[in-house]
Amino acid sequence: MSINKIAHIAIAVDNLAEQIRHYRDVLGLELVGEEVVEDQGVRVAFLKVGESTIELLEPLHDASPVAKFIAKRGQGIHHIAFDVDDLDESLQGLRQKEIRLIDENPRPGGHGCQIAFLHPKSTHGVLTELCSAGS
């Protein structure tokens, strides 16, 4: 597997507008987009940091994995995403290394890219996402 860069660092938040004000108006990052990812139950805001982004995740409803995360752990860093060239090949390599995959196959994520999550139980507590084509 070949990782190109950190695609994004995702932060679970309970009020997107309030957090955008912090990252954009206090820290001075550029807000590059907002979108709803229905199948993940989240509204997402993307802020540019060099070649990477900060991804703010606000749950749309209580069944969202991000709502469960905030209820259990509070707001904070939710996952790290690595950009890879070939997602299928990367997943195959991780399977061979007996890493537990949440997504056996790539699926659509934010920004029009393909994503797959690795289970935090097999990545030493850090929820890890791989993505290809964008971030």
Interface with ligand CMX in residues 76-105 (CB under 6 A): 78-79, 102
Cβ pair 20, 31 in contact under 8 A: yes
Cα-only R_g, the chain: 14
- Of the candidates 46, 16, 18, which has an alpha carbon nearest to the alpha carbon of residue 32? 46
Phi, psi angles (nearest 5°) of residue 73 = -120, -10
Which of the stretches 15-23, 24-32, 85-93, 113-121 binds ligand CMX when contact is defined by CB under 6 A?
Answer: 113-121
Closer by beta carbon to ligand CMX, 17 or else 71 = 71
Cβ pair 88, 133 in contact under 8 A: no
Which of the stretches 13-21, 27-35, 91-99, 119-127 binds ligand CMX when contact is defined by CB under 6 A?
Answer: 119-127
The label of the residue with tokens 């890219």 reads 113
Which of the stretches 14-22, 28-36, 45-53, 60-68 binds ligand CMX when contact is defined by CB under 6 A?
Answer: 60-68
Contact footprint for ligand CMX (CB under 6 A) = 10, 37, 40, 42, 57, 65-66, 68-69, 72, 78-79, 102, 109-110, 115, 117, 119-120, 125, 127
